Structure 1
Amino acid sequence: MPTHGSPDRRRHLSSSPFRPDPARVIEEFAVGDRVSHLRHGLGVVVACSQSTVTLKFESGVIRVNSPFDRLTRL
């Protein structure tokens, strides 16, 4: 089990007959993007940095840390 802050990729041996897992692509967001969150519903990006996105929903403002698995750009 990976520890907090460590990559969740498994080590690939060069002698393995299997291909390594593809690198994980982390989506980037811009201020004003409309998004959908699995728990909070529809919202708008109000601020963003490389590792976090701040979102405004009807229920309030939240900050989501990278990777943004529960967030989808509309």
Structure 2
Amino acid sequence: MESSRGTTRRHLSTSPFQRRVPDPIKTFEVGDRVSHDKEGVGRITVVEGTEAVVVDLGEGRLLRVLAPFHKLHTL
């Protein structure tokens, strides 16, 4: 049985609801200084494509952060 809606819904320009625009994907490079909202300041040591990064927080602490990087900001 097929759904009654054969196509995707289109956004009406007169709609009072805002169209969701996806956030741009953050990219990082090895050596970037970053700030994590909960863990503090560190440096990117490993970039695993767009899926994850490893942050060296100092004193031997490493943190692996998965995408999307909402809590990670470049300095």
- Check whether TM > 0.5: yes
Equivalent in the alignment of 1:14: 10
Equivalent in the alignment of 1:69: 70
Q: Which runs of 5+ in 1 are unaligned?
A: 1-11
Give the counterpart letter for 2:39 in structure 1.
Answer: H
Larger gyration radius, structure 1 or structure 2? 2
CA RMSD of aligned residues (A): 1.8
Equivalent in the alignment of 2:50: 50
Of all paired residues, the percent bearing the same amino acid is 30
TM-score, length of structure 1 as denominator length? 0.74
Choose 61-70 or 12-21, whichever is displaced more: 12-21
Query: For residues 53 and 10 of structure 2, what CA distance do their matches in structure 1 show?
Result: 37
Q: How many residues align?
A: 63
Equivalent in the alignment of 1:3: none
Query: For residues 34 and 15 of structure 1, what CA distance do their matches in structure 2 show?
Result: 40
The Cα offsets for residues 43-66 of structure 1, whole Å up to 9 and x where unpaired, read as 000011211011000250011000
Shift of 1:15: 5.4
Shift of 1:30: 0.2
